[in-house]
Structures are given as structure tokens and as C-alpha cells.
Amino acid sequence: MNDLTTNNAALLQAQFNPLVKPYMVLQVAFILCMTIFGIPLAIIWVLGVGQWWSQHYYDKLRCEISDIELKFRKGILFQVEKTIPLENIQDVTFIEGPILKRFNLSILKFETSGQSAGQAHDMQLVGIIDAHHFRQQILDRRRALLARASDHQASAVTTGDSQLEVLRGIQTRLDEIAQLLRDRQS
């Protein structure tokens, strides 16, 4: 089975590890168990509600990358869809800890331009299969996009230079015509 599927040459869709479901159930259960009042809720969460929630959450997860942007969708009651232009991505951080390793998961965090130092990350993805490869694809596509933009600017400068030369030639010719008109009047 492919870890990443390509719908066309420009679109790459990430696949999520099904182990993200029990990871999310246990993560919420751990938070609920932090207080005595949360322990009964944690039991209800683990045995029923959390199972339902994690399955539906997993079913709604989508992430795809094109040549110009990264799109991510998640949520059950409130669906969140984020689109980040590749040129705005400054860094993609790969996180893997002991608990995540136990579930064979990792986290990708995206830092984008315009974020202040104390601000949270714009987006994080948990459970992408072959996250290292997906991260590299994002960074490669970002570099290619920036290279195309740089080439376009260079060609625009070259075009601008040739247009400037044409305008200077026109100006010189207009100056010659103006001089001829002055000579005729005198």
C-alpha cells in the first residue's frame, strides 16, 4: 500500500495511521484523569464516547499538498480547513517521543511567516504515515516554488531592462525630432 497517494502530478495526499485513534482516546483520558472528578468521565470516554469520536475524527482527516499550497481538514462538529501557501512555510518540525513511538506516530508542526515568537504553531499534523517523506516533499515543493518565483523575477528584470533600452531609444529619437523642429523654427 502506498503511504502517499498521487492523484495527479501536482497533488500529493497524505495517509494517516489508524493508530492515531487510540492515541487520541488515551490522550484525552489522561487529561480527564488529572482530577478526581474527571476519572468517571475518563471511563465513559474510553469505553464509548472516545471510541466514536476518534473514529469520526479519523474519517474526516485530510491533508494534501499541491505545487503551491498545503491543505488540511479536520473536525467533527466544527470542521477546520486550513490552507497554507508553500512560500509562507518557514519550517516543518518533525516530533517523535516515547509515547508517539509506542503508537508508531509522529507530529509535523508548521511554522509560517508572520508568526510572532510566542505564538502557537499554525498547524500540526499527528499520525501521517511516512512523515519524514511527506515533510521532505513539502520542503522540496517549497524550494521549487521559490526557484520558479526567482526565475520569474529575473526574467521580469531582463524584460524590464530591454523595455528600458527601448524607451531610451524612443527618448533619443524624440530629442532628435525636437531638435529638428527647433532648427526649422529658427
Grid coordinates given for 106: 509522529
Query: Contact, 129 vs 76, CB < 8 A?
Result: no
Domain segments of the chain: what residues? Answer: 4-16+61-148
Q: Which of 45-59, 149-163, 167-181 has the lowest mean pLDDT?
A: 149-163
73 DSSP β-pair partners:
62, 81
Strand order in the sheet with 4-8: 4-8, 11-14, 62-65, 69-74, 80-85
Confidence of residue 127 (pLDDT cuts 50, 70, 90): very high
Per-residue pLDDT, 128? 93
Grid coordinates given for 136: 521532505
DSSP structural state of residue 52 = H
Q: How far is CA 46 from CA 29, 51, 54, 69, 127, in A?
A: 7, 7, 10, 37, 20
Question: Which class is domain 4-16+61-148?
Answer: mainly beta
Q: pLDDT by residue (tens digit) across 68-125?
A: 899 999 988 889 898 889 888 888 999 998 989 989 999 999 888 765 555 544 678 8
Percent of residues in the chain assigned helix, strand, coil, to nearest 5: 55, 25, 25
DSSP structural state of residue 67 = S
Confidence of residue 181 (pLDDT cuts 50, 70, 90): confident
pTM, whole model, 2 decimals? 0.68
Q: Which comes out higher in pLDDT, residue 163 or 22? A: 22
